[in-house]
Amino acid sequence: MGLWRADDYKLTRIKPTAIAMEALLESCVESDPSILGEDLLIIGRKVRIADREEIDLLALDETGAGRVIELKRGKTIRYVTTQVLGYGAWVETLGRAEFISIFAVYRPGVTLEEAFYDQFGRALPEDINTTHVLTIVAAAVDSRTKRILRYVEGRGNPIEIVLVEQYVDNGVTYFTGAGLAERDSQMDTTTRKKPRDPLYSKAPRPLEELIALSAARDRVDRRIRACVDELRADPRIPSSWESIADAIGSSSASAAREAYGARLAPRDEKVLLFWKAFAGRFFWDFLPGRFLYALYMVWMGTEFPGSRPLSKGKFMRRLVAAATESGEWFHTRSRPGSLMNAVEPLATRLPGWRHEGSNEATYGLRRYQPRGSSGTAETSQR
C-alpha cells in the first residue's frame, strides 16, 4: 500500500507515521469497521472476559458470524496470537442471548435486532455466532508471527491479520487497510500457470480436429457475445439465457442465469438497474435509507441470486448519484412527517419492515415536488 499527493501533475509520496495511541486506532475502526475489508456491526468495545482481559472490539458480520478484533498500534509480537486464540475460545461459547446482553450495554436503548436490520437490511438470524473469525489489526507483522498465523489458519482456525497504516499530510490524518494475504499478493511478482487450453496441448492432434474445434469455438464465442450484449441492456431477456444455456451445455436457462448472470453487470451497474426498476413506483415522498437498502437486498436476492450485494454505505453513495441525476429527488436528513403518510405498496415486499410513524430525523431521498402537488406519478405506472 502507499499514499501519494498530486500537486500540479507531480506526485509526492507521503510516508506512513507511527500510530501514537492504540485508543485512536480502536476508535477509528469502531467508527467505520469497513476498513477491515467488509461491513460489520460493532457489538461491544472493551468486552470484559476475565479479571484483566478485554476484547478490544466484538462484532457481527451480515451472516451473523462473530468477529473478534484485537488491535495493536505497532508491530505485532508472537504472544498476540495466543491472546486472540484465548478470546476466540471464550467467544465460541456465546449464543444469541449473550450477544444481545453485550450489545445492550454497548448501545443502551437500541436492540440488537434493530441495529442489525439498519446495518445490513435483513433480520438478525435466529442462530448467530455459529462460526467466528479472529482478526488482528496492526501496523506491521514480523516474519515469525506471520508463519505462526499461517500455521494456525491452515489447521482450520479462523484467524486473519489486517495491516493498517497511518498517514499525516498538512494536518489531515489518513488510514489505509489491507489484509495480509492481499498485501502479500501485491508484493508477489510470480504468476500462476493457467490451465492449458486443449487446442494448444503438446499432444499431437489431427489437423481436421483442430480446424473443427477452432470453428466451433468461434461460433460459440460469437453467439455468447451477441447474447451478452442483449443481456447488458436487459438482464431478464429469457431467449438470450436459453441460447447461452444451449451454447455452454447448461441444463436450463435458469441454471445458466444463476451461474453467470451476476457477472454481466458490475455491482455499480446493478444499483442503477435497481433504481430504474423502482424509480417511478414510490408513493412516499421521503424514502429512508434503511428502507431503500432493505428493498435493494430483496431485489438482489430475486434478480441476482448468489451475487454479493454492496454494503449499505456503498449502496447509498451510488444510489444517491443515480437518483439525484434526474432532478426529482435529493439526498437529505429529514423528518418524515406527512411525507410518508401514503400507503407504500413496495414496503409489503420487505419482511420485518415496519414504519410506525416515527418522526425522528434520518437520512434518505426526498422528492423535490410531493406527488400530491405535481400529479406526475400516475397509478398506471405502478
- The predicted pLDDT at position 361 comes to 83
Q: What is the pLDDT of residues 358-370, one digit of tens each?
A: 778 888 999 988 8
Which residue segment(s) compose the domain that 312 sits in? 267-381
Res. 295: pLDDT tops 90: yes
Q: Which has more confidence, 212 or 378?
A: 212
Q: Are residues 142 and 161 in the same domain?
A: yes
Decide if 193 is inside a domain.
no
The pLDDT value recorded for residue 271 is: 87
Q: Looking at the 3D structure of the chain, how many domains does it have?
A: 3
- pLDDT on residue 45: 93
Query: Which pLDDT score is estimated for 107?
Result: 92
Helix (H, G, I), strand (E, B) or coil at 58: strand
Residues 76 and 177 in one domain: yes
Name the least confident of 5-19, 110-124, 164-178, 261-275.
261-275
Higher pLDDT, 159 or 262: 159
pLDDT bin (cut points 50, 70, 90) of residue 327 is confident
Residues 11 and 152 in one domain: yes
Q: In this predicted model, what pLDDT tens digit does every residue of 182-235 receive, in sequence order?
A: 444 443 433 344 444 443 444 555 666 666 666 666 666 666 666 666 655 555
Note whether 219 and 297 are same-domain residues.
no
Domain boundary among the residues 263, 283, 300 is at 263
Q: Is residue 98 part of a domain?
A: yes
Residue 192 is assigned to a structural domain of this protein: no
pLDDT at 164: 80
Q: Residue 142 belongs to a domain with what CATH number? A: 3.40.1350.10
Final residue of a domain: which of 263, 282, 309? 263
* Residue 104 sits in the same domain as residue 242: no
Helical ranges in the chain per DSSP H? 22-31, 79-91, 96-106, 112-120, 143-154, 180-187, 207-233, 238-248, 253-260, 267-278, 289-303, 312-323, 371-374
Asked if residue 138 has pLDDT above 50, the reply is yes
Domain co-membership, 79 together with 166: yes
Q: Which residues contact 43 (CB under 8 A, 6 or more apart)?
A: 58, 59, 60, 99, 102, 103, 106, 112
| Residues 203 and 80 occupy one common structural domain | no
Q: Is the pTM of this model over 0.75?
A: no
Check whether residue 202 and residue 118 sit in a common domain.
no
Helix/strand/coil percent split, the chain, to 5: 45, 20, 30
Whether residue 147 has pLDDT greater than 90 = no
pLDDT at residue 150 is higher than 50: yes
CA distance 112 to 96: 10
- Can you give the pLDDT at residue 194? 41
pLDDT value at 312 more than 90: no
**Do 214 and 162 sit in the same domain of this protein?**
no
Q: Cell 498476540 sits at which residue?
A: 80
What percentage of the chain reaches a pLDDT higher than 70? 69
Last residue of a domain, one of 216, 242, 263: 263
Percentage of the chain exceeding pLDDT 90: 16
Specify whether 238 is located in the same domain as 302. Answer: no
296 and 250 inside one domain: no
Mean pLDDT of the chain: 76
Does the structure show a pLDDT above 70 at 129? yes
Q: Are 55 and 68 in contact (CB under 8 A)?
A: yes
Beta strands 159-169; 132-141: pairing state: parallel
Question: Do residues 30 and 169 both lie within one domain?
Answer: yes
Residues 33-66: pLDDT tens digits?
A: 888 888 899 999 999 887 678 899 999 999 899 9
Specify the pLDDT at position 51.
Answer: 64
